[in-house]
A = this chain, B = another copy of it.
């Protein structure tokens, strides 16, 4: 009888060490080379897929999973001693599940490791369009893309001519929100944390204006400079001081899509927002949302975004680091703005 050659390999992993407080450090994770994996499905596995992982996504919300779950946690903690989990793009090497087959490409939640045996495939979506960079499925065609789409079109209630402000504007989500708003004929201003990012906003993503918030002594004055008549829509990615100053500059019946508040993720005690009474006096709607509730819109989203990409009407900037061993630094870099565009980790190029 014919004996298939089964490859057994070391499986590089990024292990979450223990729950943390405050800013994450690379030493909160460990890159290990100890695990070994047989590149074959076990017999009678009850339904599994075996994947080779290609791209990992670094996303700000992952910080929450590094804290011990408490009242109000919206995601489960990572398990100390187990790999970090995040969005990624993988090739299916083998499958005993009917809806996946060898050779398929997928995106969804995967372990930070080279190869995975996956039992819970509920988050995995099969990739149908490969005439774009595969890494896009961590960004513009993945979770951040849907976030920008839902946040702008479903939450912001945009009207042509609206004035739109986007914080963390050059990031995975923000760069898309700004471009959507421009396509919608809004006036769009973004803030970001470096000259390089501000240049991208103005010259690559077509924002009408952009500024480096780190160089503004007075955020209120900066916002007044770009929005002399106020802000109709604020796409909120950062929270804290910026939110307080934006509230002062919102227009009557303004809308705030509360997408994230990255300035608060590493604080033990959140900063207080003082200008909230303006929500009453300006009839502002501030609305939070989680992209996870909107994945049913993914086909509709693809239908919209793919032609825009192909026609060059939407562009997307990624910041790709090579190698799983650089994933911890890439992840923590989000919280100091090291990433320029969508932060991706390439594990393997096929």
Say if the beta carbon of A280 comes within 8 Å of chain B.
Answer: yes
Say if the beta carbon of A283 comes within 8 Å of chain B.
Answer: yes
Closest to A272 in B: B272
Are B281 and A289 interface neighbours, CB within 8 A? no
User: What's the interface size class on A, roughly?
Assistant: 20 to 34
Say if the beta carbon of A258 comes within 8 Å of chain B.
Answer: yes
Say if the beta carbon of A96 comes within 8 Å of chain B.
Answer: no
CA distance A63 to B277 in the complex (A): 14
Interface 0/1 of A75-87, CB less than 8 Å to B: 0000000000000
Are A261 and B277 interface neighbours, CB within 8 A? yes
Say if the beta carbon of A288 comes within 8 Å of chain B.
Answer: yes
**Partner-contacting stretch, out of A109-117, A158-166, A263-271, A324-332:** A263-271
Are A282 and B74 interface neighbours, CB within 8 A? yes
Please provide the chain A residues from 167 to 196 with a CB less than 8 Å away from any CB of chain B in the complex. none
Say if the beta carbon of A46 comes within 8 Å of chain B.
Answer: no
- State whether A264 and B277 are in contact (beta carbons under 8 Å apart), knowing that A248-B71, A248-B72 are contacts in the complex: yes
CA distance A272 to B240 in the complex (A): 10
Say if the beta carbon of A144 comes within 8 Å of chain B.
Answer: no
Q: Which residues of A contact B (CB under 8 A)?
A: 71-72, 74, 239, 243, 248, 258-261, 264, 269-290, 293
